Amino acid sequence: MKTFPHSDMLKQLPEQFFAVLADRMEKAVAEGHDVINLGQGSPDKPTPPHVIKRLQEASEEIENHKYPPFRGKKNLLNAVAEFYQREYGVDIDPDTEVALLFGAKAGLVELPLSLMNPGETMLVPDPGYPDYWSGPAMANVPMHKMPLLEKNNFLPVYDDIPEDVKKASKMLLLNYPNNPTGAMASEEFFDETIEFAEKNDLCVVHDFAYGAIGFDGNRPVSYLERPGAKDIGIEIYTMSKTYNMAGWRIAFAVGNPSVIEAINIIQDHFYCSIFGAVQDAAAEALTASQDGVDELVELYEDRRKALVEGAREIGWNVAAPEGSFFAWLKVPEGYTSASFADMLLEEAKILVAPGIGFGEHGEGYIRVGLVLEKERIQEALDRIKKLNIF
């Protein structure tokens, strides 16, 4: 049988980090082990019942048995605008400042393809969500990785970016609350970001995937809340985390009309919009009672408490995340992030994500998810305690 060579673009794509983690999990389970999966990043609770009910109803409506409008149903576009006004006090034009996405990941990959040309540089966080690297690879544009260091509260330091890189850069990607570090950004940081972007003619893209999840009574700041933000950038919001809709593949970008139009143009060629019933259910999630969101945040905060207090009790001095549903934990002395992750899987049957998988500056950490029951988190800590590492 003839083997057809893959394109040069496919060959330069980064390895799918989370697929590798999933394979390791499946292999250990197939061998008969009870593996505690702290490496996953998918919500473990079901989609709220009222959202499911709306999907069921909408799936029977004749209008949803046809192709929906290319750029989305009006009711969902309006719901996005209503959501941003209610939650953040931001005015959004549903006709020109909203683009629906087949999940936030798709939008993040499409943006470099839509706005950048070969030779232009994209500024990305390090550590960061590994799929941030896919878009630049497809668009054939170089990345400059901005270190996120604990001493800087896991925020990039723009003054540290070389002048020649600043001049070559076209896009700046940020993500707060942050995956993997759990850090939050302040209003002052976003104001600094806007000033930096204006000075260097950059498009700001803020991945607000964990926008609902802040702890200790602290509400995550939307980039678009800050004066001038919409003039030079957009924010991407997913339904996956806030509403436990990870499998539904629906998200949206909001902000600068020219960027929104670029996304819509490329999606006009890639897709024919999202199933109308899913759009109707998403509109229901955004506009109905948000009590379930508050309960979800309380659940994650309770799990965070169990993880942090339990780790400290066994002698593991860890920092509590400020937001997201991840904790960024330092590995013990004598281990790399990969060797510590390997040891936990082999000797304690605990899967974690090694920090090096999120970039060079992720070395020395592991990422732990808060997306499993508190009892399993406590059991994982009991297993680690028995290893006598600390």
32, 80: one domain: no
331, 275: one domain: no
Judge whether 2 lies within some domain: no
Which of 12-16, 152-156, 362-366 has the weakest average pLDDT?
12-16
pLDDT tier for residue 232 given thresholds of 50, 70 and 90: very high
225, 334: one domain: no
224, 79: one domain: yes
41, 154: one domain: no
Judge whether 52 lies within some domain: no
Which pairs with CB-CB distance under 8 Å and at least 24 residues apart come from 284-289? 284/50, 284/51, 284/54, 285/48, 285/51, 285/239, 285/242, 285/243, 285/245, 286/76, 286/79, 286/80, 286/82, 286/83, 287/79, 287/82, 287/83, 288/50, 288/51, 289/50
Judge whether 123 lies within some domain: yes
Asked if the model's pLDDT at residue 17 lies above 90, the reply is no
Residue finishing a domain among 287, 306, 329: 287
163, 305: one domain: no
Q: Can you give the CATH number for the domain in which 102 is found?
A: 3.40.640.10
pLDDT tier for residue 14 given thresholds of 50, 70 and 90: confident
pLDDT tier for residue 54 given thresholds of 50, 70 and 90: very high
Q: What percent of the chain has pLDDT over 70?
A: 100
**Angstrom distance (rounded) from CA 169 to CA 165:** 6
Asked if the model's pLDDT at residue 25 lies above 90, the reply is no
Judge whether 55 lies within some domain: no
Average pLDDT, the chain: 95
C-alpha distances in Å from residue 230, one per residue of 125, 167, 176, 185, 227? 21, 22, 17, 17, 8
228, 308: one domain: no
Q: Can you give the CATH number for the domain in which 351 is found?
A: 3.90.1150.10
277, 177: one domain: yes
Judge whether 19 lies within some domain: yes
Looking at the structure of the chain, the number of domains it has is 2
Q: What percent of the chain has pLDDT over 90?
A: 90
296, 161: one domain: no
Helix 276-287 × helix 74-88 angle, to 10°: 20
265, 221: one domain: yes
Asked if the model's pLDDT at residue 20 lies above 80, the reply is no
Helix 374-385 × helix 291-313 angle, to 10°: 10
Judge whether 59 lies within some domain: no
Predicted local confidence at residue 143, as pLDDT: 97
Which domain does 247 fall in, by range?
A: 66-287
Residue whose token pair is 């929906």: 68
Predicted local confidence at residue 71, as pLDDT: 95
Asked if the model's pLDDT at residue 246 lies above 80, the reply is yes
Predicted local confidence at residue 226, as pLDDT: 98
Could you tell me if residue 228 is left (phi over 0), alpha (psi between -120 and 50 degrees) or otherwise beta? Answer: left
- Given a contact cutoff of 8 angstroms between Cβ atoms, the answer to whether 228 and 258 are in contact is no
Residue finishing a domain among 243, 260, 287: 287
Omega cis (within 30) before 127: yes
40, 136: one domain: no
Judge whether 368 lies within some domain: yes
Predicted local confidence at residue 272, as pLDDT: 86
Judge whether 108 lies within some domain: yes
139, 162: one domain: yes
Residue finishing a domain among 252, 287, 322: 287
